[in-house]
């Protein structure tokens, strides 16, 4: 078994402009996702908007995300899968209404 | 046993058995680099052993056993050291079999792993040629006109991703097979087209790549006899390649289909291709490779260029455009419409395509447009289109053809 991170990249502006019912639909979709994935879901979190982000390079602290882009990292899941095909199958189930997801293997140090 | 004969036997086993030996060794080594190393060592050892003992009845089996033994020994030696990269995921005994009622050939696992959609197309091409066809990195670099270090980096990156992301070493489950097979066939077709009409460089043809692609497709057909798209691809390539000897004139000039000497086409290969086309079209809705092979068959079966059945071609292109809505297909369809319904009917189709950003920079579009304008006697417009095509074209033989057309229509190049 390997672990993979599913990074959810979405257009933040689309959420700012969305109707409250959209938030409910997205929440429901994520709840369904975690039920579907079951115990292969190891962890995950939603993140606060990028306007709350602070970046540190060297020892310089600046306001804002690491890279300014339209599609931003909005949340992530850690999943367990036997190979990339299984991880991608789970990744396809992951809701990302205003964007997409990136699947990255977690590095193992021995 | 004479050295020359043994060397020939080893070279022959390299051509015929490389993929089978490597694929079987990867399953044991569970590491692409280690497997390659072991297989190369096995070929070196074969030279020596076969000189002493003679060439075995089944060189492939001999090489597989030798390479697998080396891989197992390497694992025993490394048992206390843990390797940096995780081992390849191979199906374990308690996994369901890849496909019902059959044991898959390891070569299929190798092909599907090399053409996994998580790899970029150019990486799929590079490692398919390297691992499945046994080409050296230098040979692949030459074929795609990139430097050897660039190609080596591409191959290394692809192998690393297979290991680190745990791309599994197996034939995909049935529900994923159509999509995954399409990726494999696309890669094989790209190997072919790179050899058949080299996108850049001085020569139009690179026969070695054409032959590798045809060999690969034959293997796929043998291993998956029910996959009609694989048959369609093989048929398509055989029919196109049957015209190889007639595509370039003695002076190196590109010869159009209408100028080619049909008596010099390879009739045995055409018969082979036509038989496969019939199989590819039988039963169910045909896929894009089956339809393309049917189109190639219509061209091939015509007694003369003028005698081509343009109406039937147009019907096949309608089906193809439906199965595969690509702007390149739409362009080819327009060229056929020009033959079946006249250039004036086709010109608006091309003008519409000129707005498709996916065709920006595609020299066949202005070239086709120039030809229609020339046939409509709109010479200044035709010349402008030829000039556009010439600036976009990177193949010397094709460019020379376009320049001759430009001169022929009365303007200065």
Domain range B3-77, CATH class = mainly alpha
> In this structure, how many other beta carbons lie within 10 angstroms of the beta carbon of residue A66?
14
Please list every residue in chain A whose beta carbon sits closer than 8 Å to the beta carbon of residue B164: 105, 107
Please list every residue in chain A whose beta carbon sits closer than 8 Å to the beta carbon of residue B116: 84
Helix axes B396-408, B379-392, angle to 10 degrees: 160
First to last CA, chain B: 62
Please list every residue in chain B whose beta carbon sits closer than 8 Å to the beta carbon of residue A105: 164-166
In Å, how far from its chain's centre is CA B302?
26
Is residue B167 less than 8 Å (CB to CB) from chain A?
A: yes
Q: Which among A83, A107, A110 has the least Cβ separation from residue B89?
A: A83
Place of tokens 């320049």: B403
The pTM for the full model equals: 0.83
Q: Do B118 and A84 touch (CB under 8 A)?
A: yes
| Separation of alpha carbons B376 and B370, rounded Å | 10
Please list every residue in chain B whose beta carbon sits closer than 8 Å to the beta carbon of residue A3: none
Q: Do A110 and B82 touch (CB under 8 A)?
A: yes
Is residue B166 less than 8 Å (CB to CB) from chain A?
A: yes
What sign has the CA pseudo-torsion B63, B65, B67, B70? negative
Q: Enter the ipTM.
A: 0.85
CB B254 within 8 A of CB B401: yes
| Separation of alpha carbons B44 and B10, rounded Å | 9
pLDDT at res. B82: 55
CB A6 within 8 A of CB A101: yes
pLDDT at res. B85: 56
CB B21 within 8 A of CB B70: no
Encoded tokens for B413:
């190049």
pLDDT at res. B232: 97
Q: Which among A2, A81, A88 has the least Cβ separation from residue B86?
A: A2
Is residue B183 less than 8 Å (CB to CB) from chain A?
A: no
User: What would the pLDDT profile of A16-54 be if each residue is shown by its tens digit?
Assistant: 899 999 999 999 999 999 999 999 999 999 999 999 999
CATH of A2-105 given 3.30.70.1060, 1.20.140.10, 3.40.190.80, 3.30.200.190: 3.30.70.1060
Long-range contacts of B171-180 (CB under 8 A, 24+ apart): B171/B98, B171/B99, B171/B104, B171/B108, B171/B109, B171/B112, B172/A85, B172/B112, B173/B98, B174/B99, B176/A85, B179/B117, B180/B112, B180/B115, B180/B116, B180/B117
pLDDT at res. B100: 39
pLDDT at res. B412: 42
Query: A110: nearest CA in chain B?
Result: B82
| Nearest chain A CA: its distance from B140 CA (Å) | 27
Q: Do B116 and A88 touch (CB under 8 A)?
A: no
What's the order of all strands across the beta sheet hosting A41-46?
A: A41-46, A71-81, A2-11, A99-105
Q: Do A105 and B165 touch (CB under 8 A)?
A: yes
pLDDT in tens, chain B (413 residues): 689 999 999 999 998 899 999 999 999 999 999 999 999 999 999 999 999 999 999 999 999 999 999 999 998 887 656 555 567 888 765 554 444 334 447 899 999 999 999 999 999 999 999 999 888 999 888 878 789 999 999 999 999 999 999 999 999 988 888 889 999 999 999 999 888 876 666 666 778 889 989 999 999 999 899 999 999 999 999 999 999 989 888 887 778 888 999 999 999 999 999 999 999 999 888 999 999 999 999 999 999 999 999 999 999 999 999 999 999 999 999 999 999 999 999 999 999 998 998 888 889 999 999 999 999 999 999 999 999 999 998 888 888 889 988 877 654 43
Q: Do B164 and A105 touch (CB under 8 A)?
A: yes
Inter-chain Cβ pairs, chain A and chain B, closer than 8 A = 29
Checking phi first, is residue A76 left (phi over 0); if not, alpha (psi -120 to 50) or beta?
beta
Is residue B91 less than 8 Å (CB to CB) from chain A?
A: no
Task: Show me where the domains of chain B are located.
Answer: 3-77, 112-125+140-171+178-240+268-279
Q: Which among B82, B168, B176 has the least Cβ separation from residue A83?
A: B168
Encoded tokens for B75:
């694992």
Task: Show me where the domains of chain A are located.
Answer: 2-105
The 3-class secondary structure across B193-212, one letter per residue, is: HHHHCCCCECCCCCHHHHHH
| Separation of alpha carbons A83 and A97, rounded Å | 25
């Amino acid at each position: 078994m390997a672990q993979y991170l599913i990074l959810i990249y979405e257009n933040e502006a689309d959420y700012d402009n969305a109707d409250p019912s959209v938030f409910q639909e997205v929440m429901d979709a994520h709840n369904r996702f975690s039920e579907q994935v079951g115990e292969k879901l190891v962890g995950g979190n939603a993140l606060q908007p990028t306007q709350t982000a602070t970046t540190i390079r060297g020892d310089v602290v600046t306001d804002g995300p690491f890279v300014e882009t339209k599609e931003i990292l909005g949340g992530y899941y850690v999943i367990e899968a036997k190979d990339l095909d299984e991880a991608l199958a789970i990744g396809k189930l992951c809701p990302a209404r205003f964007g997409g997801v990136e699947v990255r293997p977690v590095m193992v140090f021995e | 046993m004479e050295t020359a004969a043994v060397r020939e036997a080893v070279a022959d086993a390299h051509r015929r058995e490389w993929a089978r030996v490597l694929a079987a060794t990867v399953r044991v080594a569970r590491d692409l680099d280690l497997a390659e190393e072991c297989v190369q060592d096995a070929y070196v050892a074969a030279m020596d052993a076969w000189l002493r003992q003679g060439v075995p009845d089944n060189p492939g089996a001999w090489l597989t056993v030798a390479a697998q033994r080396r891989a197992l020994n390497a694992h025993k030696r490394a048992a206390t050291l843990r390797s940096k990269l995780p081992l390849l995921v191979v199906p374990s005994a308690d996994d369901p079999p890849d496909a019902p009622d059959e044991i898959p050939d390891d070569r299929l696992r190798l092909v599907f792993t090399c053409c996994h959609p998580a790899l970029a197309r150019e990486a799929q091409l590079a490692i398919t040629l390297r691992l499945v066809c046994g080409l050296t990195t230098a040979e692949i670099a030459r074929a795609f006109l990139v430097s050897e270090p660039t190609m080596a980096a591409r191959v290394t990156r692809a192998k690393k991703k297979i290991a680190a992301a745990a791309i599994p070493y197996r034939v995909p489950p049935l529900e994923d097979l159509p999509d995954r097979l399409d990726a494999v066939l696309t890669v094989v077709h790209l190997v072919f087209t790179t050899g058949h009409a080299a996108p850049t460089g001085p020569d139009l043809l690179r026969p070695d790549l054409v032959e590798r692609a045809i060999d690969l497709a034959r293997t796929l057909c043998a291993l998956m006899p029910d996959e009609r798209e694989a048959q369609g691809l093989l048929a398509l390539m055989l029919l196109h390649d049957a015209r190889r000897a007639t595509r370039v004139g003695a002076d190196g000039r590109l010869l159009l289909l209408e100028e080619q000497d049909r008596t010099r086409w390879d009739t045995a290969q055409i018969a082979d291709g036509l038989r496969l086309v019939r199989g590819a079209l039988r039963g169910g809705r045909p896929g894009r490779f089956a339809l393309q092979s049917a189109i190639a068959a219509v061209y091939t079966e015509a007694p003369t260029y003028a005698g081509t059945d343009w109406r039937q071609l147009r019907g096949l292109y309608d089906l193809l455009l439906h199965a595969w809505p690509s702007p390149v297909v739409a362009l080819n369809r327009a060229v056929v419409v020009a033959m079946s319904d006249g250039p004036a009917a086709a010109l608006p189709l091309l003008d519409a395509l000129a707005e498709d950003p996916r065709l920006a920079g595609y020299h066949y579009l202005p070239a086709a447009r120039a030809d229609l304008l020339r046939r409509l006697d709109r010479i200044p417009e035709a010349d402008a289109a030829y000039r556009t095509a010439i600036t976009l074209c990177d193949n010397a033989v094709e460019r020379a053809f376009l320049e001759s057309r430009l001169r022929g229509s009365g303007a200065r190049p």
